[in-house]
Amino acid sequence: MHYDHDVKRDLQVYAASLGFAEVKCTGVEAFTDWADLVATQSEADRAVLKDKGFVIDPKEQYPWARSLLVAVFPFQPGPCGEGDATRLLGGFSSYYRWSHLAYSRVESITAWLEAHGFRADHKAMIPLKAAAHRAGVAHYGRNGLLHHPQYGSLINLQAILTDALFEPDTPLPDVTDCGDCRICVDACPTGVISIDGPPHPYRCLRYWQDRTDIPPEMRVAMGMRIQGCEICQTCCPLNEAVLKQETAWENPYDIIALLTEQGTARAARMEQIGALVGDNYARPGRLAYMAAIAAGNTTDQRVIAPLQTALTHEYEPVRQAAAWALGRHGAQVAIPQALQIEYENGRKYPHA
Ligand code: B12
Ligand code: SF4
Ligand code: SF4
């Protein structure tokens, strides 16, 4: 077998210049063990497998592919995960501060391979954790995430199929390195992590943040979080060294502003959020919905008037969440003020 050793080495050097700590390789054999394991898990896992259209057998869908690369993009933790109740700022996970960069930079790896005469594709829906474990990148954690020996679980993973023939890296001998630890099992606010099985995807807070029908118990567990949850990572002893490297950055998830801003002020904030976490997440209606839930999870009375304003928001889920949040603040304060707003609106739009 003639492996492209020199190309692999040059590619790793190039990937390092883009911020990837490591690019490892596995073959393009089917992920049969992974698919079999998923089949033994919850109905929810099987549904995720079907809905997401995972590539279980790369050879079948990408017959030209000869290697599967897994690129590891480590990132620095930040201070904004939980939000800030005193300053009324919503929380966003540090993962989102960096993941859009990883997504844009993997395109450069594909372009580099193409410029060197190879075919490459980084858009295939590869089961990334299974691929990374098979490429010897990291171990599974009980929290369902992979931990890299140096960077812990604070990594974004990317997969690239190519027709270059690279020598596969050796898979790690153990599946998990958690041992007897159960810290994340106890720390998860929704009890989603089990001692002897992977997390149930639909009970993870992050799952619900993509939806507008968040059940009441999940809204309460959400706290001030607007985008992502990192409790099962910040509590993990395998992340201890990385978490010490926390860097400060601005938090633009101002709850009052997200509930009330309009026009150019709103557009400017969305631009700021887009620059920070990617335009895909800079959606005013969705962010106002999550801000209303966060406002319902604080006892701070400064959110009452903005929530009342949000009762007339143009996006229906925001109006619903604002009503729920006002209910949490207590009917005595909220309802008379809400009625006053209705009255004012009635005067403004007498025939509505
Ligand atoms: C859908 C999805 C989600 C869903 C569903 C979660 C899930 N099922 O894993 C939701 C929205 C909840 C989610 C949340 C998050 N996600 Co996500 N997610 C994905 C995505 C797109 C697909 C994962 C998936 O559903 N696979 C299908 C399931 C059935 O397979 P599986 O996850 O591999 O799990 C099977 C086996 O691997 C095994 N297994 C899983 N865990 C464990 C643990 C042990 C000990 C063992 C033995 C086996 C085992 O059992 C499962 C079989 O049922 C991947 C990207 C990708 N292309 O893979 C990112 C990805 C997994 N997510 C990622 C991240 C960072 C997150 C969040 C931390 C984001 C955040 N800050 O909020 C949270 C963490 C939640 C958690 N504790 O898992 C990263 C993980 C990086 C890492 N270090 O591993 C990925 C790889 C994205 C990326 N490009 O880097 N995610
Ligand atoms: S991301 Fe949050 S809700 Fe999801 S498993 Fe981890 S601690 Fe639980
Ligand atoms: S907190 Fe403990 S059990 Fe959970 S992933 Fe980290 S090492 Fe594993």
In percent, how much of the chain has pLDDT > 70?
94
Res. 342 pLDDT band, cuts 50 70 90 = low
Mutate to test the pocket of ligand 2, among 188, 202, 209, 227 (most ligand atoms within 8 A of CB): 188
Q: Is the CB of 221 under 6 A from ligand 2?
A: no
Burial class (CB in 10 A: 0-12, 13-18, 19+), 116: middle
Tokens of 62: 């990408």
- Per the prediction, the chain carries an average pLDDT of 93
Beta strands in 246-299 (DSSP E): none
Cα(162)–Cα(62) distance, integer angstroms? 9
What distance in angstroms lies between residue 192's CA and the mean position of ligand 2's atoms?
Answer: 7
Nearest protein CA to atom 4 of ligand 3, as residue: 184
- Asked whether the beta carbons of 305 and 88 are under 8 A apart, the reply is no
Nearest protein CA to atom 5 of ligand 3, as residue: 141
Cα(340)–Cα(304) distance, integer angstroms? 13
Cα(329)–Cα(299) distance, integer angstroms? 7
Q: Is the CB of 202 under 6 A from ligand 2?
A: no
Q: Is the CB of 205 under 6 A from ligand 2?
A: yes
Burial class (CB in 10 A: 0-12, 13-18, 19+), 165: middle
Tokens of 276: 């920070």
Res. 290 pLDDT band, cuts 50 70 90 = very high
Res. 38 pLDDT band, cuts 50 70 90 = confident
Q: Is the CB of 238 under 6 A from ligand 3?
A: yes
Which ligand is in closest contact with the Cα of 207?
1
Q: Is the CB of 95 under 6 A from ligand 1?
A: yes
* Across 60-79, average pLDDT: 96
What distance in angstroms lies between residue 237's CA and the mean position of ligand 3's atoms?
Answer: 7
Stretch among 6-15, 47-56, 81-90, 182-191 having the lowest mean pLDDT: 47-56
Q: Is 88 helix (H, G, I), strand (E, B) or coil?
A: coil
Q: Is the CB of 101 under 6 A from ligand 3?
A: no
Neighbour tally for 315: CB within 10 Å: 16
Q: Is the CB of 83 under 6 A from ligand 1?
A: no
Beta strands in the chain (DSSP E): 22-26, 67-74, 91-92, 120-121, 139-140, 146-147, 155-162, 225-227
Q: Is the CB of 145 under 6 A from ligand 2?
A: no
Give the Å distances, CA to CA, from 206 to 53, 85, 234, 262: 20, 20, 15, 27
Q: Is the CB of 185 under 6 A from ligand 1?
A: no
Cα(349)–Cα(352) distance, integer angstroms? 5
Q: How many CA atoms lie within 13 A of 82 on its CB side?
A: 11
In this predicted structure, what is the pLDDT of residue 310?
96
What distance in angstroms lies between residue 39's CA and the mean position of ligand 2's atoms?
Answer: 22
Q: Is 187 helix (H, G, I), strand (E, B) or coil?
A: helix
Q: Is the CB of 102 under 6 A from ligand 1?
A: no
* Across 49-71, average pLDDT: 94
* Across 286-315, average pLDDT: 96
Tokens of 68: 């599967």
Which is the closest atom of ligand 3 to the Cα of 176? 8
Which is the closest atom of ligand 2 to the Cα of 207? 4
pLDDT digits (tens, 9 = 90+) for 228-283: 999 999 999 999 999 999 888 899 999 999 999 999 999 999 999 999 999 999 99
